[in-house]
Amino acid sequence: MDNNKLKQFDMPGWLLKGEDYSPQTDKDTFINKSILSVLSILSRIRAQGSGKSAKHSVNATVKVAFTFMLILLISFSRNFTFVIIINVYLISTLCLMDADVIVKILKISLVTTFFTFIVLLPSAIWGNSFNTVMITTKEFATITAVGILSHSTRWNAITSALKSFFVPNIFIVVLDITIKYIVMLGDFALNMLYALKLRSVGKNKTKNTSISGIAGTIFIKSKEMADDMYAAMECRGFTGEYYVYSNSKINIADYIYIVMNIGIVFIFMYFERI
């Protein structure tokens, strides 16, 4: 009787065998590229938001105003010499920045300029070569000027400068909140991608389903965060007004920058009369 009871409690044979499972290898290139792209975007935003301004850096309001003015002068100019002078000025300014920033700005400027040149190439072949060169040169100058502004000025300083130019409050609030929520949702998406990579064992033939699930979860999370933010603003009595408090003063670098841009205006007036 006792022997029968012992046999009933014997361990099954499959439980005593060693584990010899070897999952099939699978490629994680898509997940790795997604992680790197998200990390790249987050690092750029955080680098611009957390950087300390130099002692003699140009005021953000002054930079935004004269960058917008420079773009207008480039757009209205019909003289090729003036556009070349502006490109030389921008490249000289670009040389004063860090090497990695120079590469980032030039990469975007050259790629977009080359794409525009390819689009306008048939027009140049049919004899309209001057306008083709003029448009591509203007585009290079415009994108380079905007790139210098974005990489040398923090995001919060740009949004504060927009208030000085009577930009509507709703536009400033949406822009400011969008930048912050890109970082928060980017961290959330990054954690989900890490979880997907760690839990992927063996060969997964339904990666598209997993990525679509991540996108859907991020959408639901963003909606929940938007509702919470709206409730928080309503409880704190937010009326839509955007107030900016700045104690920055005009320094020597600002005066130099203003004089240089006034010189650009005189150069524009001189060449447009020729």
Is pTM beyond 0.75 here? no
Q: What letter would DSSP give residue 97?
A: S
- The CA–CA distances, whole Å, from 175 to 156, 169, 194 equal 10, 10, 29
Q: How many domains does the chain have?
A: 2
pLDDT for position 55: 45
Is residue 87 domain-shared with residue 129, that is, in the same domain?
yes
**Mean pLDDT per 10-residue interval, the chain, length 274 residues:** 55 69 62 75 67 61 90 91 93 88 89 91 85 91 91 80 79 81 83 77 65 81 86 82 69 86 91 77
Q: Is residue 132 in a domain?
A: yes
Residue 106 CA to residue 45 CA, distance in Å, equals 19
pLDDT for position 56: 47
Residue whose C-alpha is closest to residue 173's, from 246, 238, 247, 223: 238
- The CA–CA distances, whole Å, from 194 to 36, 189, 214 equal 11, 9, 11
Is residue 163 domain-shared with residue 231, that is, in the same domain?
yes
Q: Is residue 216 in a domain?
A: yes
Is residue 148 domain-shared with residue 262, that is, in the same domain?
yes
Is residue 134 domain-shared with residue 62, that is, in the same domain?
yes
217 lies in which domain range? Answer: 159-243
Residue 96 CA to residue 52 CA, distance in Å, equals 17
pLDDT for position 203: 64
Give me Rg for the CA atoms of the chain. Answer: 29
Q: Is residue 43 in a domain?
A: no
pLDDT for position 118: 92
Q: Are the C-beta atoms of 147 and 105 separated by less than 8 Å?
A: yes
DSSP element (H, E) containing 203: none
pLDDT for position 20: 65
Neighbours of 193 (CB within 10 A): 19
Q: Is residue 29 in a domain?
A: no
Q: Is residue 167 in a domain?
A: yes
Q: Is residue 20 in a domain?
A: no
Is residue 167 domain-shared with residue 195, that is, in the same domain?
yes
Is residue 212 domain-shared with residue 79, that is, in the same domain?
no
